Amino acid sequence: MDARSNKRKAVPGERDKGGDNKRHKGKKQWDTGRKGVVEHRVIQPGDTGIWATCAMNKEAKSVADLRDLFQEYATKIYGPEQTNGAAADAVSDTEEEDIEAEIKKELADIRKPIIKPLFRPVKLDTQCLMFFKTRLPVEPVAFVEKICQDTAAGVQVQNCRYVKRLTPITAIEKATVKGLEAVAKKVLAPHFHGKDQTARKFAIRPSIRNNKELLRNDVIKTVAAIVGPGHKVDLRGYDLLILVEIYQNVVGMSVVGPDFEKLKRFNLEELQQQPHVNKTDSSGNAKIENHVDSSTNLKVEEHE
């Protein structure tokens, strides 16, 4: 008998099965994680936060520095309980507690829900750009204004040497015409549509990154229409400035006051370069500052 006839022909089902096994062995099993785990890694409608820019290739350093700065200011403004994400537990005056009570307390601590931090950085694929999500009680505009006002007054921002501009965002929606209209109605209402609202001078300043759907002129016209009648456009002497930040598929908006230009458009780098007679660090301690006298080109030390 021919030797070839002794070879058993593979059953069609077995051949397919063997092929499947080979494919399974060579296939990488990627762990996609639980649904919702990466929620903080993207900017979504309904978020509030703070945009920040920095020097090129200094994003990681700037994120760490800003996180420390934000936590420091949040502790001063809102208290350590809010910063730590939970209220401090009351301490018992008695030295010996009942064992059963201790066990109940430990179980209660374990069952406490995880509270999101006040500031959560979002990793972006754009150089020199960062975004921090915020939650209540942080109000982005007032929070950023406080940092910039202190810096303008001479308070030295610790580290943050590569950080440039901060832009607070009160509300975010999808970067569509409907999304722009929705976020504008929400953000502008308290400033322009009050019951006893007086006429205000305003300006609109859009910034568009990585988005070709919304055009600058269309954004300005849409926002101006929602501001409504009774208010006047004034690009230099405005009472209120409307900041519109469009990035990829989201649009954010906020309203800031007339000190925006005085505060160097919330640019920490420029604010720190301003000459000050007396500077203090963020804890209020006076610091010696060196200046160069332009008339004599000599280095002069100024003391408190």
304 residues of the chain, pLDDT tens digit each = 555 555 555 555 555 555 555 444 444 333 333 444 444 579 999 999 999 999 999 999 999 999 999 999 999 999 987 766 533 344 444 445 578 887 877 777 677 667 789 999 999 999 999 999 999 999 999 999 999 999 999 998 888 999 999 999 999 999 999 999 999 999 999 999 988 889 999 999 999 999 999 999 999 999 999 999 999 999 999 999 999 999 999 999 999 999 999 999 999 999 999 886 555 555 555 443 433 333 333 333 333 3
Confirm whether 96 is domain-assigned: no
What whole-number distance in Å separates Cα of residue 131 and Cα of residue 53? 9
Contacts of 86 (CB under 8 A, 6+ apart): 112, 115
- CA triple 238-241-243, angle to 5 deg: 160
Confirm whether 60 is domain-assigned: yes
Confirm whether 132 is domain-assigned: yes
Residue span of the structural domain in which 75 resides:
48-83+115-273
Confirm whether 93 is domain-assigned: no
SS3 79: coil
Query: Is residue 257 within 8 Å of 203, Cβ to Cβ?
Result: no
Confirm whether 107 is domain-assigned: no
Residue 240: which CATH number?
Answer: 3.30.2130.30
Confirm whether 281 is domain-assigned: no
Confirm whether 8 is domain-assigned: no
Candidates 68, 195, 177, 182; CA nearest to 132 is 68
Query: Is residue 139 within 8 Å of 129, Cβ to Cβ?
Result: no
Confirm whether 37 is domain-assigned: no
Candidates 67, 275, 260, 263; CA nearest to 160 is 67
Alpha helices in the chain (DSSP H): 12-26, 59-78, 80-83, 99-111, 140-152, 177-192, 216-227, 268-272
Query: Is residue 130 within 8 Å of 59, Cβ to Cβ?
Result: yes
How many domains does the chain contain in total? 1
pTM of this structure? 0.72
